Chains A and B, each alone.
Chain A
């Protein structure tokens, strides 16, 4: 079920960067070809090594640019990565490895690292954006963002 969800949202992502006019037409979104995945506009970036996550539990990196701090963690044998800016008011969220959840120290929003960043409790209106990553050998490669990062009108600035 989660797989399907990623695919669907991934498709929407592909449409996202096209034009403002398309962006404002939900009807167009629903009628496209859902098989095509294209994370338009995002650069691929090696953000760390899988072996390091296995030994250290997590790695910090910036994506898609240096103003966007992120963290990759290992949950249920899988590498998942998230934005570290709370989608409520932008405070840096803190990872609790035992709980496999992120908590915001400002207004106590909490997000589940095992469930695509779902808000467990809190005042954000969005789950925490997931950084889409794949593993190539030992390299972790970020290739897109699922959800709008706090403090931006577009994940890709300018």
Chain B
């Protein structure tokens, strides 16, 4: 507990400082209100800043309430202590006063020396002796810059690799993607780049973009108006919670019929929505949807893993055979139709054999998606996909086959439709490209694998954990550790050296002895800190002003509430520190040309980075703000509050930013011709590496998120509730398999294959089928990616994280783990 008291909370007094905060966790980006007031002052139950009379019990649903996790005590850099309360904002259209288990604990994530966040990184560190030792910014940036300069001058900038966030929300945001992107691409000019959760620098949705449809093209309000929601490879109750609970739930319960009547055509049938899930697992999302809509309105296609393309092709074929395709739209606004229809032709019976589904089920899904409604109107179908297919058997075809069906049924641009990724984190991309551009998607370098094989002289792990969130995690960690130790030895031999001598020793260890200079930028120490030679402490949500957009392109300014811990800084300003240190070194040696490359980092605050990036570049750079992003300012965004503005911004009207509810309403798509492009998508074979594991090992293994755990578990492994609920990653095992193996819930188990091994705790459940295991993703103390192969889609370099094979071994029982977490069925 951040607050150490569990039956009474302090209340903000009237006049307490009030700020808008966007949730730092998932893509939905719920709005929150933060109150801050000096410790020692307090509102009363009757008179407080919340305007709530706490002498009365607050009502269910509409009540305003702070749980213990929503309150904390912080110490600012002025030395004074403050209470902070962060509660969901009832006026935000996204979440309408509701929190998820993740966002509701944002106050608890704040740095508090007396709580479980006490190990936040406070100052830069350098490796000295046997560990990382705290040091000054001047020292850390000087040493880093000296090593980088030697590499850039003698070996070229591509020998400096970086792996970093490219997203919004906590550990991201437009300010920080711009700052880091400008440092690496414009100043250092490396092309050796990888994104935080994958081994190369690529999009997860190349296919849909090349077909002319941006991946976030609808709005959450539109999903309240859909006739059919089609969800493939996603589990939104756990990973996009308030989209599911505040928008879809209403639609599934029929609470939005009146709104439908208003928005639909005259005489068009308007009823409660139906929902289709395509998922090998019986997920919490499926079970809760049955509660919301009744089982007649929920269809769960429990597909055989890796066969999604066949299903989509069969849906495409059947819809076409029935004449339910959007004929006029296809003729006027699409291309490549005939060729795709021919190439993708798949019969229901063939599809049933391959996918393990019944032909009747596939037929029913096609009917819900495309059969004309009672009134004769085309159903309004919204199609959603996420990591189950993005990280599936072959990224490109998986996505393209889904978008094909969306184009076929005109499930884009119309009220109540869309074909969108559901998203993980929020978005926040604005970056320059490196001077010669990045290679095409088929020629991208798989940077993490290259580094493991000995390439590169320096490696930045910036706001991410490569040993948890990359391919073949165990091999990667072993290799990085070996290469890091070579540098550490060199540093230990030079204790007492000045930075130039030390930089030279580091450089030689990398260049001639196979070492790798490792720079860590993060908010907490992690396993990767153990391989770091220099570390910089970053600030995150509520510690800086931060702009991001959510899954419906809604941009908000999440305001700074507290000072960042110690001397930590926003990532954009850390990038500036490093750039300015390099500039100074080049100036000192009179190299004006190189010094010039490192100009443009004289930022005093994150707002300067925002003005330079999102608001400064417009169409000049790859920016989610597009050409009209330049209209945005912090003041205007602040005025729009937690409702922000949906990209692209259209105009400023009466001091308010006006945006775009839904894309492609004019049927102009993002291809050269302006037409949406169908793509032939044959069923991809199982990759060789995965097939080899399947031959040798007993179980199919897939992975995914848990409701209570976020990203690499950096905050959530510290928070009392999620860390007690999930001390290590659970391995879901079907009761039949558990019985055969003599395993019961709570046993420690090991999964192993040719790539590595990982331990988890057995959770016996019907969520998974016989022969299929599911392990939670993102746990640094039990990373399932240890057993993921090195396969990446050759067309996009996106891994097949969701599919590997392994055998299962029982280790034994640690009573503390077995007794402290519930093993009751979640579905």
Contact = CB atoms under 8 A, between A and B. Distances in A.
A157 B57 contact: yes
B821 A118 contact: yes
B745 interface: no
Nearest to A20: B42
Given A68-B57, A89-B63, A153 B11 contact: yes
B685 interface: no
A121 to B, nearest CB: 4
B114 A26 contact: yes
A148 B7 contact: yes
Contact of A107 (B59, B69, B245, B721): B245
A123 B101 contact: yes
B740 interface: no
A123 B39 CA distance: 29
Contacts of B9: 23, 148, 153-154
Chain B interface helix/strand/loop/mixed: loop
Nearest to A96: B824
A148 B68 CA distance: 7
Contacts, number: 175
A67 B724 CA distance: 30
B725 interface: yes
Contact of A21 (B40, B99, B721): B40
Given A1-B816, A1-B820, A157-B45, A151 B65 contact: yes
Contacts of A127: 721
A100 to B, nearest CB: 8
Given A1-B816, A23-B10, A89-B63, A119 B725 contact: yes
B28 to A, nearest CB: 12
A120 B825 CA distance: 8
Contacts of A150: 58, 60, 63, 65
A73 interface: no
Nearest to B291: A108
B112 interface: yes
A58 interface: no
Contact of A108 (B59, B70, B237): B237
Contacts of A86: 60
Contact of A126 (B69, B115, B284): B69
B23 to A, nearest CB: 12
A67 B57 contact: yes
Given A1-B819, A110-B826, A125-B101, A20 B10 contact: yes
Contact of B6 (A9, A85, A91, A121): A9
Interface stretch (A11-19, A43-51, A74-82, A134-142): A11-19
Interface residues of A, number: 62
29 contacts: A9-B6, A13-B6, A16-B6, A20-B10, A20-B42, A23-B8, A23-B10, A26-B112, A30-B114, A67-B57, A85-B60, A108-B284, A108-B291, A110-B824, A119-B101, A120-B824, A121-B707, A123-B707, A124-B104, A125-B69, A125-B721, A126-B69, A150-B60, A151-B60, A152-B57, A155-B7, A156-B7, A156-B8, A157-B55
Given A87-B67, A92-B60, A107-B245, 18 more contacts: A12-B5, A13-B6, A17-B7, A20-B42, A27-B114, A29-B5, A30-B114, A119-B708, A119-B721, A120-B822, A123-B245, A125-B104, A125-B721, A150-B63, A151-B63, A152-B58, A154-B8, A156-B8
Interface of B: 2-11, 39-40, 42, 45, 54-61, 63, 65-70, 73, 83, 98-101, 104-105, 108, 112, 114-115, 237, 241, 245, 284, 288, 291, 707-708, 721, 724-725, 816, 819-822, 824-826
